[in-house]
Amino acid sequence: MIQYLALDKDLFLQYYQLHLFLHHLQLFLLDFQLLILLDFLEDLLFLHLLRSLIHHHQILKELILHYLQGPIHLYHLYHQFDQKL
């Protein structure tokens, strides 16, 4: 999905910086539950950055829907974002 972020340089840089921050934070955490939480937060931030692109790129919306078919909590979270759009 990162290749689609290249459509917007600012969004790509924001996501990349957040990704690096969370990665470095993970290096200091040993608690497995916290690692799961950080993974969830990264997904949440990724969705937040993609909100403005979803309107203009139907393929992104379809990819995200496919991606979110796994974890139920992320699926519901996506629909909350979708209603705000």
Domain residue spans in the chain? 2-84
Cα-Cα-Cα-Cα torsion 1, 62, 37, 24, nearest 10 degrees, comes to 10
Cα-Cα-Cα-Cα torsion 70, 76, 79, 81, nearest 10 degrees, comes to -110
Q: Which of 2, 46, 68, 70 is nearest to 79 (CA)?
A: 68
Task: Give the per-residue pLDDT at 49.
Answer: 66
Cα-Cα-Cα-Cα torsion 55, 85, 37, 46, nearest 10 degrees, comes to 20
Note the pLDDT tens digit of each residue in 9-65. 777 777 777 777 777 666 655 555 566 666 776 777 776 666 655 555 555 556 566
